[in-house]
Chains A and B, each alone.
Chain A
C-alpha cells in the first residue's frame, strides 16, 4: 500500500530552513532533531551565492567573503525576491545591490557576472549545497525535504520556494511555516497544553503565530506578519547613518562603491550583534588607508531602531484579535530568529504578551529543528504529533468593477476549499477567465494578483446557460490548486493557469534541465550558445541603428569602425569559441556607445515633443 518507505536510509527526509541570511539543514536522529554542519564545520550556511568567472557556484561562508571581492558576481538575501515581480521590489533595490538583468518582467532575472538566474535558481544553489552537506554527513542520496517559509508568504512566494526545491533535485514533501516549525521544535520534549505565541523576527521577514496545543495537536489559531521587516532593516538603518557620517568626515560618498558598502555592512552587522551583549561598541571601518571609528551606545542604538521594533507590535495585536485571545490567555512565548537576541526586542515582546519569552533553543536553529520534526511526522517516525496550520491571507476572485469577492478567508485551517459556479456572458462563449487574488483589501488592484485561470473549451451555449463549477483548494503547503468541471455533463473542464508572478511548470522543467549540476559538461556549449544569442541581438540592433538619423550624425571614421567590428563579430559568431565572440561583442558595444547615446537623445527629445505641457 505504501509506495515510498521513508524509514530507509535512501528515503530519508531532511528539514531545511531556507533563510534570508542563513540556511540550515537538519534531520531527525531517532527521536530528536539535529542540525547538520557543512564541510567547514559551521551549521549556519550563509544564504550567499557567488559565481566564479569559470562558472563554478560557491555557496555559504566562502561566498560571503566574495561579497566584498566580487560584488558583481555575488548575491545575498535572495529570499526577498522570491515570487515577486520587478515592479514590487523597487524599494529593495534602493538598499540591496541586486543586479537585475534587463528584460526581467513577471520573473526577475539576477545578473551574476555574465549570466542571469531567477531567484528560484539561486535559492536552488543554496538548497543543493545543503543537500550535499546532508548527503556527506548521512551517507546516501537525499531526495526528499521539508522546507520552511515565512508564515506570511503568499502563494507565489511559496510556489517559488517549491520550484527552487525541484530545481535543486529535491522533492518538497511539505512547506511548513517557520513559526509553526519553531513551535514543533519546542513542543517535542514537553507535553504542553495551552496557548503559545511564536514571535519570529528573522533577517528579512517578520511572523507572529498563535497556536493552541492540545494532546500533541498544534492548531494554529491565527497568523500575521510582514514579509519586509527584519534584521536587514536594522542593518540598513545603521549603514545609512554610517555612510552619511563618513561622507561628512571624508568628503567622499562611498554609497556607490559596492565593495565599500559591503565592507561597511559587515562592520555594522558586527557592531549590531555585539550590542546585544555590551552596553556600547565601536564601529570600525578601514578603507583605502583611511579609518572611521564611531562609538555606538545601546541607548542610541535603541533610539535608532525603536520604530522598527514598534512595527512588529501591530501585527501581534491583530493576530491576538484574530485568534480571539487576550495577552493574559497566552501561556508561553517563543522567540525565533537572530534579531530576537536584541534586548529591546525581547523586552517589547515581554511587555506586549505579559509573559517571559522562551529562549532555551538557539533562535537560529529552532526553525530547522522544527522542520526536521515535521519530516519525522511525514516519515511516520513521529505518530502522536500533528500540525494544523492556516492560510495567512484571504483568497478572492475579481468580480465586476474590480471588486474582490473573498472565497477563503485568512486564518482558515488548511487544507481549505471553496466552490464557485461560473457562467458565460455572451452566446456561444467558449472561455471564461478568472482572476484570483490574495489579500485583505476590497479592490483587486490593491491585492496580490496570483494568477488568471482560463476555463477553456466550454460547450457553446446561449449566454448564462453554461455552468462551470470551479473548486479552489489551498493544500497543506498553503498553495492554491484549481480544478473545474462542467456541472451539466460532469466532465472535467480544462483550466489553463497563467501565474502573474513566478514560473510556469514548463519553465521550471527547463531550469531543471539546464541546472548547473546536470549540465556541468555542457558548460562550454551553453556559453557558446549564449554568446551567439547575444551576438545576434547586438548585430540586429546595430543593423537597425544603421538606418537611423543618429547613425548619420557619426563621423565617417566612427561609422567605418563600427562596420569593421560588426563584420568581425559576424565571422567570430560562426567559430566555436565563446571567448572570442564575447570579446567582439564587448568591442562592438564600445564602438557603438556614441551611436547609442545619439539614439537615446533623439528618443528623449522625440518623447518630449510628444508630451503635452
Chain B
C-alpha cells in the first residue's frame, strides 16, 4: 500500500508533459481513471483505501480541469518548469496598447456604442492573433522543449490575459450595472 500517488497532473494521466493535447484522448483517460478511483468504488473498503481514493479523485478532477483548458495547462507547465507566473501579469498597460486602451476608456465614458463595438472587434482580432501565436508556440515546444519557447509562451499568456480583459470590458453594456 506504500505506493504514492503521482501528484503531477501529466503523470497522473500518463501523458507526456506537452502544451498541446488531444482533448478526446484526455477525456477518455479521465473517464477510465474515474472508474478506477471514484470514492463510490471504495464505499466497501477500509479507511486507508477510502482516503486514498478520495485523494486520487481530487487530483484527477483538479488535473482534468487544468489540463483541458489550454491557458491553465500552459500556466501549470510553466510553473512546473520554475517560471514565476504570479502577479507580474499585472495591471500595467503594455506600452504598445497604451493608445488603444486610452481610446477605449474614452468610448466607455461617453457610452459611444460605435466606438465600443469597433474596439471590441479590434481586441477580439488581437486575441485571435495571440491564440494563433500560442498554438504555434505550443507545437514548437512539444517538438523541441526549451526554456526560450516557454519564456515566449509566458509573455504571450500575459498579453492574452490583458487583451481578454479588454474584450470583456467591451462586452454586454449592462455589465457596468451588474458590477454594482
Distance between Cα atoms of A476 and B39 in the complex (Å): 7
The interface residues of chain A lying within 8 Å CB-to-CB of B46 are: 1-3
A313 at interface (Cβ–Cβ under 8 A)?
A: no
Q: Mark A518-562, 1 if CB is under 8 A from B, else 0.
A: 000000000000000000000000000000000000000000000
B34 touching A388 by the CB < 8 A rule?
yes
* Contact residues, A359-414 vs B (CB, 8 A): 374, 377-380, 386-388, 412-414
- Could you say which interface size class chain B belongs to? 20 to 34
The interface residues of chain B lying within 8 Å CB-to-CB of A413 are: 61, 64-65
* Contact residues, B166-180 vs A (CB, 8 A): none
Q: Contact check: which of B34, B44, B45, B58 meets A386 at CB < 8 Å?
A: B34
B38 at interface (Cβ–Cβ under 8 A)?
A: yes
Q: Contact check: which of B41, B45, B54, B65 meets A415 at CB < 8 Å?
A: B54
B40 touching A6 by the CB < 8 A rule?
no
A473 at interface (Cβ–Cβ under 8 A)?
A: yes
A-B contact count (CB 8 A): 67
The interface residues of chain A lying within 8 Å CB-to-CB of B31 are: 214-215, 217, 219
A1 touching B40 by the CB < 8 A rule?
no
B35 at interface (Cβ–Cβ under 8 A)?
A: yes
* Contact residues, B28-57 vs A (CB, 8 A): 31, 34-35, 38-41, 43-46, 49, 54, 57
Distance between Cα atoms of A178 and B45 in the complex (Å): 26
A416 touching B58 by the CB < 8 A rule?
yes
B43 touching A174 by the CB < 8 A rule?
yes
Distance between Cα atoms of A415 and B57 in the complex (Å): 6
B40 touching A377 by the CB < 8 A rule?
yes
The interface residues of chain B lying within 8 Å CB-to-CB of A417 are: 58-59, 62
Distance between Cα atoms of A378 and B61 in the complex (Å): 20
Distance between Cα atoms of A387 and B57 in the complex (Å): 13
Least CB distance from A30 to B in Å reads 19
A416 touching B34 by the CB < 8 A rule?
no
A475 at interface (Cβ–Cβ under 8 A)?
A: yes
Least CB distance from B89 to A in Å reads 16
Helix, strand, loop or mixed for chain A's interface? Answer: mixed
Distance between Cα atoms of A379 and B42 in the complex (Å): 9
Residue with the greatest number of chain B CB neighbours at <10 A, chosen from A4, A214, A377, A413: A413
The interface residues of chain A lying within 8 Å CB-to-CB of B35 are: 217, 386
Closest A-chain residue to B32, C-beta based?
A: A217
Distance between Cα atoms of A377 and B44 in the complex (Å): 11
Least CB distance from A143 to B in Å reads 13
Least CB distance from B124 to A in Å reads 19
A2 touching B44 by the CB < 8 A rule?
yes
Closest B-chain residue to A382, C-beta based?
A: B40
Residue with the greatest number of chain A CB neighbours at <10 A, chosen from B34, B44, B57, B62: B44
Identify the 10 closest CB pairs spanning chains A and B, nearest first.
Answer: A378-B43, A417-B58, A415-B58, A413-B61, A415-B57, A476-B39, A2-B44, A3-B46, A377-B40, A416-B61
Interface residues in chain B, defined as those with a beta carbon under 8 Å from any beta carbon in chain A: 31, 34-35, 38-41, 43-46, 49, 54, 57-59, 61-62, 64-65
Identify 22 residue pairs between A and B in the complex whose beta-carbon atoms are under 8 Å apart, listed by A's number: A1-B46, A5-B44, A6-B43, A6-B44, A174-B40, A215-B31, A379-B44, A386-B34, A415-B39, A415-B54, A415-B57, A416-B58, A416-B61, A416-B65, A417-B62, A418-B62, A473-B54, A473-B58, A475-B39, A476-B38, A476-B39, A476-B54
Given contacts A378-B40, A414-B61, A415-B39, 8 further A-B contacts (CB under 8 A): A1-B46, A2-B45, A2-B46, A3-B44, A5-B44, A386-B41, A473-B58, A476-B57
